[in-house]
């Protein structure tokens, strides 16, 4: 399968090649063409640079992001510095606007040295997993969170 086949497959609900998408607002490069807005994340030829505090990209609250079943979310990430104690920068997340504890996320918990993938339902019940490895700074990582039935993996 070629990359173009994967990108335009309807099961790919969000594709953001951040090294190609400059400007404050842009369309995702998947079949849905979601309008996304960058908040503080600076564009560089290698991709967006996030400060780990308050920079993010908002792609809206679309029906395609409401995963009821199995799914995989992945990203290429390079960490220039470790977050401060008590900070948990998310690589990606989906939170319900009405219930902020409901949703899913993949984040770096660098002070304890692990990546975490977690899903929470409206009652606050959580399924999660972690991978204990402190990232090497300025190294690219392919990170993925996978939900398969009642199991989550990273």
**What are the pLDDT digits (tens) for 8-35?**
777 888 899 888 898 999 999 988 999 9
Cβ contact 54:68 at 8 Å: no
Of the two residues 114 and 141, the one the predictor is more confident about is 141
The residue-averaged pLDDT of 69-86 equals: 80
Gap between the Cα atoms of 127 and 150, Å rounded: 8
Q: Evaluate if pTM is beyond 0.85.
A: no
Residue 36 has pLDDT above 90, yes or no: yes
Gap between the Cα atoms of 39 and 63, Å rounded: 22
Residues 110, 128: Cα–Cα separation, whole Å: 17
Residue 79 — very low, low, confident or very high, per pLDDT cuts 50/70/90?
confident
pLDDT tens digit sequence for 87-131: 677 888 887 666 666 778 888 776 666 788 888 776 667 777 777
């Amino acid at each position: 399968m070629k990359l173009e086949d994967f990108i335009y497959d309807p099961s790919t609900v969000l594709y953001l090649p951040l090294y190609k998408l400059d400007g404050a607002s842009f369309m995702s490069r998947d079949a849905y063409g979601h309008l996304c807005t960058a908040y503080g994340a600076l564009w560089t030829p290698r991709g967006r640079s996030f400060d780990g505090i308050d920079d993010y990209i908002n792609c809206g609250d679309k029906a395609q992001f409401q995963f009821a079943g199995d799914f995989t979310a992945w990203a290429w990430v390079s960490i220039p510095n470790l977050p401060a104690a008590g900070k948990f920068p998310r690589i990606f997340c989906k939170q319900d606007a009405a219930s902020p504890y409901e949703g899913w996320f993949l984040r770096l918990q660098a002070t304890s040295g692990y990546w975490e993938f977690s899903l929470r339902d409206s009652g606050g019940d959580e399924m999660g997993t972690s991978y204990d490895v402190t990232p090497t700074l300025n190294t690219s990582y392919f990170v993925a969170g996978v939900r398969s039935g009642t199991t989550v993996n990273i």
